[in-house]
Amino acid sequence: MIYNKDKGYKLRFYNNARTGEKPVEKYLEKLDIKEQSKVAKFIEFLRLSACCFNQPFIKHIRGKMWELKVDFSHNKYRLFYFIFIKKTIIILHIFRKKTAKTPKLEISTAEKRHHEVLENKQIYE
């Protein structure tokens, strides 16, 4: 999925280069319609704001990776992303946060996907 309107950044979701699987989009499709709408609204704000959201909505994770925070009732969703070439936001991973601290497994998943994106730039250009 690609979002690119007249203003703001382009937006792409992680795409597994070997299998073609799109786990972020798949996860989003499983959310109920209200949760999908709220996540989509936050992603659109991120895209239009030139990635200049402030706390409490975003948090730097490490390196070039950032976390977008979307809270819906008792569910806390976290999306890991980074800014790629030509003003493109790549959403790497999404999960529902259940603990106070971000699980290392979730960060590791996003980091692996980040490296895969960098090795397969042609998919995202």
pLDDT tens digits, 86-118 = 889 999 999 999 998 999 999 999 999 999 999
CA atoms within 13 A on the CB side of 83: 11
pLDDT band for position 17 (cuts 50, 70, 90) = very high
* φ/ψ of residue 32, rounded to 5: -70, 165
CATH number of 2-123: 3.30.2310.20
Could you give the C-alpha distances from 38 to 70, 96, 110, in angstroms and in order?
A: 8, 14, 22
Per the CB < 8 A criterion, the answer to whether 34 and 73 are in contact is no
pLDDT tens digits, 52-78 = 667 788 898 999 999 999 998 889 999
Reported pTM: 0.89
Report how far residue 12's alpha carbon sits from residue 79's, in angstroms, rounded to the nearest whole number.
Answer: 13
Q: How many CB atoms lie within 10 A of CB 68?
A: 22
